[in-house]
Structure 1
Amino acid sequence: MFRTVIWIIYFIFRILFLTPRLIKVKSLHSQNRIEEKDKLVYSTARSWGRDLVKQSGSKVKVVGEENIPKDKSVLFVSNHQSNLDIPILLGFIDRPKAFVAKAELSKFPLLSTWMEFLNCIFIDRGNARESLRAIKAGIKLLKEGYSLVIFPEGTRSKDGKLMEFKPGSLKLATKSGAPIVPVTIKGANEIMPSGKLAIRPANVELIISKPIYMDEDIAKDSNALTETVRNVINENLNRD
């Protein structure tokens, strides 16, 4: 419990400490200095993610980072095990990226502002119209050269095992043409299990698989594509 309290205090004070940098980000945005703004936001997010993982006492091993296509936007498709999945992906995959995140995160002061500047898309899963809006926004971002992360299970796994993907979860790739990069997170459920606030150290493995391009035959069948991506993640998750 002591580690959890320290982590929460660090989380709050780190967000507050970054306020002057957030002001600079807003200034760059207002001046339309988008490239400078994006670099500052990404470097801040990457450092923030790594520091939050470090404060949990956990260690992350990255496998397969060379599989990420260079110089093009991609759709990272990841399993979802823990509240720390976003910091893990931000901190340990060296590629600017935004997230399709649940609408509840938009209610957190300062954090939600950083996520907006990171180009994150908030989605209300119970609102079909909002879901469609989010898909269109994601397609636009991918076509503009920004990479995205989605958690197609829709929520965190309670036992670390891979759940079924939500129908249509890979439309962002099929409609934008961006390659899919399957990502497997192993061990993060030990840091902060679903339904619990306690934080404990864990050894996490982040496995980045080879990309699937939308001009491949498999991409012509959305059901087969979904099953293929899910199988890649599941095989990595169950491999010793």
Structure 2
Amino acid sequence: MKLLLKPLHLVYMLYASIVFLAIMFIIIPPIFLASFLGKVKGGNIVYYFLRFWSHTWFPAVGIRVKRIYKHDKNDQTPYLYVVNHRSYLDAALAVQVMRLPFRPLGKIEMNKIPAFNIIYRNAVVMVDRSNARARATSVREMIAMIREGVSILIFPEGTTNETESLLQPFHNGAFRIAIETQTPIQPVLYLDNGKRLHAKGFNLTPGICRVVYLPPVPVTGLTMDDLPALKQQVFDIMERELKATV
């Protein structure tokens, strides 16, 4: 049976890749034009095209997205979203399920991919972790976005979690920015992305992708002295929910 399914899966993977790229190339021209409108206004417009791409591609490849709200879904407060990171599918899902406007923090290395970099540099706050000055610039850009009413999405584990652990230790960056800007943190969990597309290989499968929006964590009045406790609080909230869904 596995020998029969393998060729079918290869055809499915080829089909998914072609559809992915076809939609992407359709939206590149309007995204290029939107980029002339500036980082905030132009970037916000870019996300409507990315949302179209995501809403088209996911059902086309047999992936159904289910949202689970554990707080008021009509809340319009700008948040600093912290999300677990299990798959390369996470970014594609984010543009569909995170409330607009928002910007994710992304690795600067992705800006080297031809054609895709037109989208990337207008859709994310890029960070170069090898350069202290560049990291500081990224932080200033995120703070400026938050003050414009744009939410920020950060994967606090720093990279995709390829281990058996539910979560990897969190970095300080998200919590430092939340305290500095007094922006509430909303933990979000992508429960099935690692099953749909594992971080260790390009092996997409159809099925469900559940997204859980956990209650926000307020940071009003917190200082940098509270950062370790805040980071642990958010980690515990996310880990506890993940354990409950296993």
- Category of TM-score, reference length = shorter chain: 0.7 to 0.9
Which residue, out of 8, 33, 57, partners 1:24?
33
- Any residues of structure 2 matched to 1:67-216 within 5 Å, and which? 67=72, 70-118=75-123, 120-159=124-163, 161-215=166-220
4+ long deviations beyond 4 Å: 216-220
Of structures 1 and 2, the larger Rg is shown by 2
Count of residues paired in the alignment: 235
In the TM superposition, residue 175 of structure 1 has moved relative to its aligned partner by 1.2
Report if aligned partners of 2:83, 2:187 keep a CA contact under 8 Å in 1.
Answer: yes
Aligned equivalents of 1:172 and 1:69: distance in 2? 24
Is 1:14 aligned to 2:18, yes or no?
no
SS for the counterpart of 2:110 is: helix
RMSD: 2.4
In the TM superposition, residue 65 of structure 1 has moved relative to its aligned partner by 7.0
Report if aligned partners of 1:184, 1:207 keep a CA contact under 8 Å in 2.
Answer: yes
Report if aligned partners of 1:122, 1:134 keep a CA contact under 8 Å in 2.
Answer: yes
Instruction: Report the CA distance shift for 1:70/1:238 in structure 2 as closer, same or farther (over 3 A).
Output: same
Report if aligned partners of 1:98, 1:147 keep a CA contact under 8 Å in 2.
Answer: yes
Report if aligned partners of 1:50, 1:92 keep a CA contact under 8 Å in 2.
Answer: no
Instruction: Report the residue type matching 2:190 in the other structure.
Output: I
Aligned equivalents of 1:3 and 1:162: distance in 2? 30
**Structure 1 length-normalised TM:** 0.87
Which sections of structure 1, spanning at least 5 residues, go unmatched?
A: none
Report if aligned partners of 1:84, 1:188 keep a CA contact under 8 Å in 2.
Answer: yes
In the TM superposition, residue 174 of structure 1 has moved relative to its aligned partner by 1.1
SS for the counterpart of 2:126 is: strand
